[in-house]
Amino acid sequence: MKTLDLQEIRKQLDGIDREIVSLFEKRMALSGQVAEYKIETGKPVYDREREQQKIESVTGMVEDEFQKQAVRELFTQMMTISRHFQYKLMAEHGLKAENDFRPVKNLPANQVRVVYQGVEGAYTHEAALKYFGADVDIYHVDSWEDAMKEVEAGTADYAVLPIENSSAGAVTHNYDLLIKYNNYIVAETLLPVDHALLGLSEAEEGDIKTVFSHPQALMQCSEFLNANRNWRQISVENTAVAAKKVFEDGDPSQAAVASEIAGNIYGLKVLKSSINHNKNNTTRFIILSREPIYREDAGKISISFELPHKSGSLYNMLSNFIYNGVNMMMIESRPILGRNWEYRFFIDIEGNLSDASIQNALKGISEEGSNMRVLGNY
Ligand SMILES: C=C(O[C@@H]1C=C(C(=O)O)C=C[C@H]1O)C(=O)O
């Protein structure tokens, strides 16, 4: 008896679904006609007001609260799909998201000037040497922000900045600087980071009372450092500055957390090597240029955008990747200054700015989110 009922109900469901699919196809065909109109008139795909009216009108057609919510979700999804279809048609007409980026075979490398924050022996210095080699003109400034300014002003061709560490996570301040300055990420380099506890030549581990380093390095070694409860941990601008300070103060109760290379440069002894708890500790550094260029074979794109403080807005934005088959590699959010509890998102995706699928996804995000920026393709 029960099986018979189920079969009967399912037959009815099948009939309704056939109608839904046929209506959906008709709806999409009309959406295609709207796209043609938009191509001719230069109107954008996304019409926020029309979508709001549509949601109000269709939710008004049902009484029950559960059904209202269901109809809202259903139509939000249908209109999202309809927009993606329109972006696709626009791209086929050669209408893509505008950007100033130029593809290049190779990044300019002749007689370039490279800036980093810190002093000699800082990890960023190592990263700059690793990426550019020892033959280019590498100099340093006091802060990450100064490094960004040097590039924006044209005093340096490239800046090297840490952006993410495999154990301590994002270098959040540098995400904010990516927004504040109009520089572009043109490359990245990974540097294994192995911290040592460094002291004066006459010092022993038992003498130590104060440890200086960059807060990121203190975090990466927190298990070791926190096991020595009587040590005071003090933050300074960077690890090499810490090493320099310990040498200059000449106090055997002081130690620095920095690389063994920095220890060599500043004449310090290794009291204990490899004190970071993650033995694969690696920092990702980005290379910035004021020129919006990308290597033809670049495979990763960084973007940022802001979203209305509304349920589902991130979910809807990410559908631009899903519908275009774009793989997302990383997402990070930062508070927007002056707008409490609103966030700016930073996303890395796989792809090249010349890919049609990427152009489609970016067109969608630039229309539907606010202040979308392509930070670089590298
Ligand atoms: C179809 C249109 O394009 C988009 C999709 C909509 C829809 O599918 O109903 C509504 C508004 C637009 O964001 C349109 O402008 O009417």
Please tell me the distance between residue 13's alpha carbon and the centre of ligand 1 in angstroms.
Answer: 28
Q: What are phi and psi of 289, to 5 degrees?
A: -135, 160
**pLDDT tens digit string along 141-174?**
999 999 999 999 999 999 999 999 998 889 999 9
Residues of the chain with pLDDT under 50: none
Please tell me the distance between residue 368's alpha carbon and the centre of ligand 1 in angstroms.
Answer: 12
Atom 6 of ligand 1: nearest residue by CA position: 79
Which position has the token pair 């699928």? 357
Residue type for position 331 = I
Residue 57, SS3? helix
Q: Which residues lie below 8 Å from residue 117, measured CB to CB, with a gap of 6+?
A: 124, 140, 141, 142, 143, 144, 146, 147, 161, 237, 238
Tokens representing 244 are 């320099």
**Ligand 1 pocket residue status of 31, Cβ below 6 Å:** yes
pLDDT at 2: 61
Question: Hey, which of 86, 320, 366, 367 would you mutate to test ligand 1's pocket, going by the most ligand atoms within 8 Å of its Cβ?
Answer: 86
Catalytic residues: 283, 285
Query: Cα dihedral sign for 7, 11, 12, 18?
Result: positive
In this prediction the ipTM stands at 0.98
What are the beta bridge partners of residue 169?
165
pLDDT at 311: 81
What class does CATH assign to 196-272? alpha beta
What are the beta bridge partners of residue 306?
344, 370
pLDDT at 97: 64
For residue 79, which of 96, 97, 56, 55 has the smallest C-alpha distance? 55
Provide CATH 1.20.59.10 ranges for the chain: 1-95
The DSSP bridge pattern shows strands 196-199 and 210-213 to be unpaired
Provide CATH 3.40.190.10 ranges for the chain: 196-272
Where residue 295 falls (left for φ over 0; alpha for ψ -120 to 50; beta otherwise) is: beta
pLDDT at 48: 87
Please tell me the distance between residue 44's alpha carbon and the centre of ligand 1 in angstroms.
Answer: 10
Looking from the CA of residue 86, the nearest atom of ligand 1 is 3
**pLDDT tens digit string along 86-111?**
988 988 887 666 678 999 999 999 89
pLDDT at 298: 98
**Ligand 1 pocket residue status of 58, Cβ below 6 Å:** no
Contact 346, 175 (CB under 8 A): yes
Give the pTM.
0.83
Fold of 1-95: Chorismate Mutase Domain, subunit A (1.20.59)
Atom 16 of ligand 1: nearest residue by CA position: 34
pLDDT at 1: 54
Question: Hey, which of 23, 38, 79 would you mutate to test ligand 1's pocket, going by the most ligand atoms within 8 Å of its Cβ?
Answer: 79
The DSSP letter of residue 291 is S
Q: Angle CA(99)–CA(298)–CA(106) in degrees, nearest 5?
A: 95
